[in-house]
Chain A
């Protein structure tokens, strides 16, 4: 960025102004919602459910296969 010329620097300034205008929200709102999203999804997450893992197609069911 040190080698940027005037037109590129102008674009950077424009971009920064645009970013400053972003409608950000309070962490006390967004973080609990992120957590809730995860918690709602956990029952369906194959890696977090031993029950789901039993039916996982990648995991061999037993040592014997019926040919």
Chain B
């Protein structure tokens, strides 16, 4: 009936304006707490010296773009996934390939190492996240033991085990994140709120409790309570897709990298953005970010093939690393902070120290 349609439009309009007014109030509340700036407080901090960071290992073997990688807790094994459908486990120290599995789909956009080091998870255009136990028995076919855990209605963009091998958190092009029980494949919690594809996620360090942060094509970074499924905080300051989010080591902040060519730092306790890492000369998107052990350095991989190293406190770039011959798509610091690994569309991974 025509009158029902009219009523629905009025409700939608009034809800939209209520949302706008709430957003306005949020900005007001945030502004009230803004009594100091990071760069002011950081003035008294000593500037960093020169850095010598070089490629120490190059991992060659993928037949196409490397899309994702993750470190094993043992600080030397690495899992990586590629557009060619292959997932490889490397001993990055010797550069030997220890395991390889071919996925039934191309564009394996996400992969993760289980905390025990005994399994890996991966997925992409198949819309699923699957877990593969790692076996050293040469007679066993890794693909035969595959376990399908997560099912989304669009591509899998990111996955991460929680602090055990038993649960996996996923992010998808379908606009949602979800928490799954690995053994049963059961959906434990889903997280709705992004207005477009979710591209990345990161779990809070275990000491800080049950939250995670996600970033998406809606330019929003959202912090979620894993138990209730509620969005606790949201930040909408980027001007384009957020490709990567990473918690600061203490859990009180997180960084993001975006197609708007900037990386940003958000203070979770003050509930606002506190720093922007950018330069006029940097015009290509940042695809992945990670912190050094102390949180003083932010490593960021870009679509212009470089890696920029930022002084988190001063906001300045301290180093620029060349080496990759195509976009840097993924970057993670090793568990003990002695090195970081980058993966690229040039088919290789590099370990830097």
Measured CB to CB, the residues of A under 8 A from B are 1, 4-6, 9-13, 15-20, 22, 24-35, 37-42, 44-48, 53, 56-60
B48 within 8 A of A: yes
Please pick, from A10, A28, A38, A47, the residue contacting B312 in the complex, using a CB distance under 8 A.
A38
- B337 contact set on A, CB distance < 8 A: 44-47
Please pick, from A5, A25, A53, the residue contacting B270 in the complex, using a CB distance under 8 A.
A25
Q: How far is the CA of A2 from the CA of B267 in the complex (A)?
A: 29
B15 within 8 A of A: yes
Q: Which of B8, B30, B267 has the most CB of A within 10 A?
A: B267
Q: How far is the CA of A5 from the CA of B353 in the complex (A)?
A: 50
Please pick, from B33, B56, B230, the residue contacting A25 in the complex, using a CB distance under 8 A.
B33
Interchain CB contact under 8 A, B267 and A48 = no
Mark each residue of chain B from 269 to 294: 1 if its CB lies under 8 Å from any CB of chain A, else 0.
11110100000000000000000111
Interchain CB contact under 8 A, B297 and A56 = no
Using known A-B contacts A38-B312, A47-B292, determine if residue A18 contacts B338 with beta carbons closer than 8 Å: no
Q: How far is the CA of A10 from the CA of B272 in the complex (A)?
A: 24
Mark each residue of chain B from 4 to 33: 1 if its CB lies under 8 Å from any CB of chain A, else 0.
000010011001101100110110011001
Minimum CB–CB distance from A15 to chain B (whole Å) comes to 5
Q: Contacting chain A: which of B34-42, B107-115, B120-128? A: B34-42
4 residue pairs, one from A and one from B, having the closest CB atoms? A41-B294, A45-B294, A16-B22, A58-B353
Q: How far is the CA of A1 from the CA of B297 in the complex (A)?
A: 35
Size bracket, chain B contacts: 35 or more
Measured CB to CB, the residues of B under 8 A from A are 8, 11-12, 15-16, 18-19, 22-23, 25-26, 29-30, 33-38, 41-42, 45, 48, 51, 53, 56-57, 93, 192-193, 195, 218, 230-234, 248-250, 252-253, 267, 269-272, 274, 292-297, 312-313, 336-339, 351, 353
Please pick, from A27, A29, A39, A41, the residue contacting B249 in the complex, using a CB distance under 8 A.
A41
Minimum CB–CB distance from A7 to chain B (whole Å) comes to 10
Using known A-B contacts A5-B12, A20-B29, A47-B297, determine if residue A58 contacts B351 with beta carbons closer than 8 Å: yes
Q: How far is the CA of A60 from the CA of B17 in the complex (A)?
A: 62
Q: How far is the CA of A37 from the CA of B339 in the complex (A)?
A: 21
Interchain CB contact under 8 A, B33 and A24 = yes
Using known A-B contacts A20-B25, A27-B36, determine if residue A38 contacts B313 with beta carbons closer than 8 Å: yes
